[in-house]
Every structure is written in structure tokens, then in C-alpha cells.
Amino acid sequence: MSGGWDGRILPHSFLAMLSETHRTRLRAGGVVRTFRRGRRPIIEGTPVTQVLLIEDGWIMVSVDGQDIEIRGPGDFAGNGDFAGGAERYTVTCITPVTALLRSAADFVSLAESAPEISRAVIYTLATREEQSYVRLVRARMPAPRRLALLILDVTAMAWAVRADLPLSAERLASLICASRRTVTRCLTEWHGKGVVSHGYRSIRVLDRSALAAIAATPRR
């Protein structure tokens, strides 16, 4: 792979679907930037100017102050997800992030001229719509189930690229629309049972089968 795309990108992510040739085309017209943790390279409601392609690190996507989803290496953000106008969400770097920046106009033009890139964009956006539906379904579940499912998802992503994904109890609570107290209580209970270990902005699954069983329990 060219440039900073050294294989540590998420399977089935936007960049993972592209050939070496098209990754090179994307990188040739962009600028690589590094953002410290806590930076917000994209802010909801601002004019669309750029697309951010993540080479390394993790971002949090939020709407109206509510955390919605985590995106990692190989994914992109920005350009209103090609709706035009203003950005539809805010992006916050939850780790240091290295990203390739392309102007929104250039990125759209490139996608329109390259069927492989266009297909990858369409697949990525369709997957996000599916994930939105999954979040709606999960919203009806008890908080422990929502938390267990979220932890299974995010730790699988982190494992796939052999990287840490630091998340505080507050962030986890925001992602599942629960109170921090509820999340802390669940984590403490699961820690005592040897299911997970957790600390300051860190969580590790010790017994994935047990956590999956919690996630599958209809009621708690």
C-alpha cells in the first residue's frame, strides 16, 4: 500500500475496498495532517470544504452534541456525506489522528470519474444507513445489552487493526444514551465476574463469550 496506508486499516472500510492504484490517486491530490486528541476537524453546520480520510487513529461522530458512532483507519468523514450544503455532524479526534485531506470538490470529482471509488463510497454510505437502523433497534433494549453490544463492536474494530481504542465511561454512556452511573455499574459488575477489565479511558474484554451472552439476554 502507498503512503501511510500500511495495512492497518479496518476490513470492509472505504480504503480497504480500493485497489493500490486508486489509493495512490487519492493520496496524490491530498495533504496529510495530524490532529491531536480532542481536535474537531469537522464541525456540524459549517460549510462543506473537505473530506477527511483516516490513515491512523479514531474519531467520534456526533450530532447535536450526541455521540453517534466511532470511525477508524480506512474510513472517511466530511462533505456532508455528499449531501452538499453544511456539514451534518461534528468529528472529534478521540486519539491522535493522521488523515489525508482532500477538497470536497476534488473528492466528488474523483469518485464520479472512477467507478471503483464510486462503488466504495456508495457501499460505505449504505453501510452507515444500515448501522443507523441497528442503533434504532438497539435503543429499545435494556442498557446492559446496549453496552455489551457496543463493547463487542468497538473491541472487534480495535483488534482488527491491532490498536487501542480509548473510551471513557462517559463516552460509552453517550453512545448508548444511558447515564454514566449505569455504565459504571455494569462495568464494575462485569469486572468482578471476570468478563471485562476497565480503567481510565480503557476497556478490555476478558471473556468474549460471557459478554456475548449478556448482549443476547432479552431482559435484565
- Residue 5 domain-assigned (yes or no): no
- Residue 7 domain-assigned (yes or no): no
Cell of 45: 453546520
Q: Are residues 106 and 185 in the same domain?
A: no
Q: What is the CATH number of the domain that holds 188?
A: 1.10.10.10
Query: Domain total for the chain?
Result: 2
pLDDT at 3: 45
pLDDT at 158: 86
pLDDT at 183: 95
pLDDT at 84: 61
Cβ pair 94, 59 in contact under 8 A: yes
pLDDT at 147: 96
Cβ pair 76, 110 in contact under 8 A: no
Q: What is the CA radius of gyration of the chain?
A: 18
Owner of C-alpha cell 496524490: 28
Q: Domain ends where: 113, 137, 161?
A: 137
For residue 86, give the 3-state DSSP assignment. strand
Global model pTM greater than 0.85: yes
pLDDT at 2: 40
Residue 218: Cβ-neighbour burial (10 angstroms; 0-12, 13-18, 19+)? exposed
pLDDT-above-90 percentage for the chain: 66
Q: Are residues 35 and 125 in the same domain?
A: yes
Q: Domain ends where: 114, 137, 160?
A: 137
CB atoms within 10 A of CB 126: 10
- Residue 6 domain-assigned (yes or no): no
- Block means of pLDDT (10 residues each) for the chain, length 220 residues? 59 93 90 96 88 94 92 87 73 95 89 93 93 92 95 89 83 93 95 90 90 83
For residue 51, give the amino acid letter: V
Domain with 183, as residue range(s), is 141-216
- Residue 9 domain-assigned (yes or no): no
